[in-house]
């Protein structure tokens, strides 16, 4: 797997998380849960069947980037969410 594929996958996870932050405003506890899940996913050891699997590492890395960006991004995006039009 090339570096370009890894960078593109992580960048896509990052920008999708930012877009979701901008688009929808959810309660604060969902963001706290996302950070907790990101830390859980990032800190658990790799299961034995997946040791050395590049695809598994890429999926876990993308999930971590998405969750940590979405969870911590609320601090910076608070008040900048897109308002829904009424009517």
Minimum mean pLDDT range among 4-8, 18-22, 54-58: 18-22
Q: What percent of the chain is modeled with pLDDT above 90?
A: 66
Q: Compute the average pLDDT of residues 71-75.
A: 88
Domain ranges of the chain: 3-77
> Within the chain, how many helices (H) and strands (E) appear?
3, 0
Cβ–Cβ under 8 Å, residues 18 and 69: yes
pTM of the model: 0.84
> Any idea of the CA torsion for 11, 12, 17, 21, to the nearest 10 degrees?
100
């Amino acid at each position: 797997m090339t570096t370009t594929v890894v960078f593109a996958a992580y960048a896509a996870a990052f920008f999708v998380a930012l877009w979701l932050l901008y688009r929808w405003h959810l309660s604060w506890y969902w963001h706290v849960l996302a950070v907790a899940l990101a830390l859980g996913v990032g800190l658990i050891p790799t299961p034995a069947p997946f040791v050395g699997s590049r695809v598994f590492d890429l999926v876990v890395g993308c999930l971590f980037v998405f969750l940590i960006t979405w969870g911590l991004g609320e601090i910076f995006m608070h008040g900048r969410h897109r308002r829904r039009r009424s009517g």
